[in-house]
Amino acid sequence: MKKKMVSVLMTAILIAIPITPALAQTSPDTVKEKAQGLASKIVSDYGVSGMQYAIMDHGSIVLSDSAGVYDRATKAPITKDTMFGIGSVSKMYVTAATMMLADSNKIDIDKPLITYIKEFKMADDRYKEITPRMLMNHSSGLYGTHYGNSVLFDDNDTENHDKLLARLQTENLKSNPGESSVYCNDGFQLLEILIERVSGLSYSKFLETYISTPLHLSSTKTPLDAFDRGRLVKTYFPMMEQALPVENVNTIGAGGIYSTAEELSKFAEVLIGKQPDILSEKSAKSMQSHEYRKGVWVSEETNTFNYGLGWDAVRLAPFSDYGITALSKGGDSIMYHAALTTLPEHEISIAVLSTRGSSFVNSLFASNVLLEYARSKGIIKELLPEKTFKPSLKVDMPSDLQSYTGLYGSVGKTVNLEIKNGEIDLPALAGAPIPPQKYVYTGNGQFKNKDGDVTISFDKQKNGKTYVKLIAYINKPGLGQAVKATYEYQKLDPNPLSQTMRTVWEHRDGKQYYALDEKISSIFYYLPSGLNVSINIDHGYASGTKIVDENKAVNVFDIPILNGTDAFDLLFYNVNDTEHLRLGGRTYISEDGIQPIDKGNSSICTIPVSGQAVWYKIDKKTANRVMTVKVPGSGGFAVYDANGMVVNFSKVTNNHSIVLPEGGMIVFGGNKGDRFKINLKNK
């Protein structure tokens, strides 16, 4: 699927870097200068508008600073009290809360989840085997994320939380519970529900009572808490100077907490067992266990992904090269980005928060500064050099490797991989940092790019699946080098279709489908408007899913680490002779069922009893005319150009008048019965 459902939303990308060598110990002032220089670089070169960071050492803040601005309009600076969303770093709070319940013998993390959430049911009977541990180490087998109404502007609606259990009842698993770890937001939403069921408190109240209050965290809040929203750093979209409304990530357990860098680094004291009145040292140590080794995983130990309980990494590179244990968690929502890295044996932690940018960049910063700080304290003597590579030298390829030619895919897409004369052409990898290029066979079952810093191989795992494995050293200008070992693609079996099936599915190829259930306050209306279905008709796949009948295609991917996350099935059905699509708990309408907006000078759009959004096309008769809308208080609308890019979203701009672009789309949303009075006039 060309526009997979924003797995970017809450999927964490952690990259750490070794830095160029130096011979002498540095001073605290040098650490501060290093941090300031890197922060300025990130703000100037990596699209970050505001950034905040802090280091905690043995319970004391030893560095706290910021870069960028709180508000572009006023140029007001960020202070230590400015709050940010922390995205998926929120998972560390729900993990700690789960382990706190285990400390008090209220739960056993290795007992089935149904012991504590009685109404948890799925269509796949294997759900009964899922335990809280599997939710914390991403090995539950759940598809990934239900994004519907999860990220809203100035709206803390709990619908996503409230309907999750009902939505899961009709869904399957993609693997046996415990078999492989694939990043999964829904698992942490289930932990949030577990905490509520067992404690009798709302999750927000549990955090306030048992974490924030005893730690004196006055700036650690959820969307459901009452606090001054003016303390949140202003956020912006590219090419837009106006500040956006507050982003509420209402999947709180997975990514909804706000905090400051100082308070996040203070919370790290809990995670490393230095606040035993909150979380026992035993439980903190358990969270650091090498959970990734229990199931299907890449064999490389030098990596930036090696899951513990909650943690993305429990032996983070490059710290592992120094013999230092480093734990790390990154997080990205649409507008906020975060990284938390801690050295538990040395009781040192760093938190880095930003608007725009990415957790990728924040983690680079964290590793740079933390290594410099470790050198200033004499923990390490010198910084290791970056790894260098020789240009790849092609050698003769064994003929048996030719068998790896075939159809591969990852969630949302398929790719025909052909090995020809010992060479492979591959599209962009690692979420795009590695560009499309050619790889040549260099021996030992490996194919490498021209520069020799990216290695591709094939790995048949114990689950019977064959994966394309990637080992890459990625360089970010001014920030250094990062290592990543992961699986990029899974080999797929051909799925030949009958002529009848081919005809039905070919009709859907390239079609756009538009969300009906999303609230008009949703931040997703600021993203490209349509969801595009791509059919690989010769092999029998639709947007990476396997076609099983005329109206259904199912997930086949079980790719450990990240590329198997946010899997989905496709279910097509008709309503009043108009095709609809059901995906991830959300309903979409085909572009074929959307009518042009009334070309008359005035018209009315009414939100139906279902409360679903209403979409219109902009045809030649209405294009380039000025549309002015009288909007009800609970309503709003968005206008998109022919490429699906938003040109006006009234919930953000408060602009109710717009020139309509030819070939574009309009969506109206609000409460059932809301009436929009529409006026069209020539420019």
C-alpha angle 161-162-163 in degrees, rounded to nearest 5 = 95
pLDDT on residue 20? 33
Q: Decide: helix, strand or coil at residue 166.
A: helix
Report the candidate in 257, 206, 218, 208 with the shortest Cα–Cα distance to residue 91: 257
Residue 5: pLDDT above 60? no
> Which tens digit of pLDDT belongs to each residue from 351-387?
999 998 999 999 999 999 999 999 999 999 999 999 9
pLDDT on residue 21? 33
Cα(5)–Cα(515) distance, integer angstroms: 11
pTM: 0.94
pLDDT on residue 587? 96
Beta bridge partners of 626: 659, 681
Share of the chain above pLDDT 90, in %: 92
Contact 614, 667 (CB under 8 A): yes
Q: Which residues are CB-neighbours of 37 under 8 A, at least 6 positions away?
A: none
pLDDT on residue 17? 32
Strand 636-640: give its sheet, edge to edge: 614-617, 665-669, 636-640, 646-649
Contact 666, 616 (CB under 8 A): yes
Q: Decide: helix, strand or coil at residue 267.
A: helix
Beta bridge partners of 71: 76
- Better pLDDT: 17 or 184: 184
Residue 15: pLDDT above 50? no
Stretch 568-576: mean pLDDT, rounded?
A: 96
Contact 533, 508 (CB under 8 A): yes
Q: What is the mean pLDDT of the chain?
A: 94
Stretch 390-403: mean pLDDT, rounded?
A: 96
Stretch 411-428: mean pLDDT, rounded?
A: 96
Q: Model confidence at 224, in pLDDT bands (50, 70, 90)?
A: very high
Beta bridge partners of 638: 649, 667
Cα(294)–Cα(180) distance, integer angstroms: 8
pLDDT on residue 24? 39
Cβ-count burial of 227 within 10 angstroms (0-12 exposed, 13-18 middle, 19+ buried)?
middle
pLDDT on residue 26? 55
Q: Residue with structure tokens 């679903």?
A: 612
Q: Residue with structure tokens 């997703």?
A: 524
Contact 272, 56 (CB under 8 A): no
C-alpha angle 123-128-134 in degrees, rounded to nearest 5 = 110
> Which tens digit of pLDDT belongs to each residue from 447-471?
999 999 999 999 999 999 999 999 9
- Better pLDDT: 478 or 7: 478
Q: Residue with structure tokens 């090269």?
A: 321
Contact 194, 132 (CB under 8 A): yes
Contact 486, 298 (CB under 8 A): yes
Residue 501: pLDDT above 50? yes
pLDDT on residue 392? 97
> Which tens digit of pLDDT belongs to each residue from 266-321?
999 999 999 999 999 999 999 999 999 999 999 999 999 999 999 999 999 999 99
Tell me how crowded residue 299 is: count the other CB atoms within 10 A of its CB. Answer: 8
Q: Residue with structure tokens 């990734």?
A: 292
Helices (H) and strands (E) in the chain, counts: 13, 36
**Strand ranges (E), 427-517:** 437-443, 446-448, 454-460, 466-476, 480-491, 512-515
pLDDT on residue 436? 96
pLDDT on residue 388? 94
Q: Decide: helix, strand or coil at residue 389.
A: coil
Cα(24)–Cα(27) distance, integer angstroms: 10
Q: Which residues are CB-neighbours of 67 under 8 A, at least 6 positions away?
A: 36, 39, 40, 42, 43, 48, 50, 51, 78
Q: Model confidence at 156, in pLDDT bands (50, 70, 90)?
A: very high
Q: Model confidence at 12, in pLDDT bands (50, 70, 90)?
A: very low
pLDDT on residue 390? 95
Share of the chain above pLDDT 70, in %: 96
71-75, 232-236, 237-241, 636-640: segment of lowest average pLDDT: 237-241
Stretch 648-654: mean pLDDT, rounded?
A: 95
3-class SS shares of the chain: helix, strand, coil, % to 5: 25, 30, 45
Stretch 522-550: mean pLDDT, rounded?
A: 95
Q: How far apart are the first and last CA of the chain?
A: 38
> Pairing between strand 531-532 and 419-420?
unpaired
Cα(485)–Cα(306) distance, integer angstroms: 10
Contact 553, 545 (CB under 8 A): yes
Beta bridge partners of 413: 410
Q: Decide: helix, strand or coil at residue 219.
A: coil
Tell me how crowded residue 598 is: count the other CB atoms within 10 A of its CB. Answer: 15
Residue 347: pLDDT above 90? yes
> Which tens digit of pLDDT belongs to each residue from 58-117?
999 999 999 999 999 999 999 999 999 999 999 999 999 999 999 999 999 999 999 999
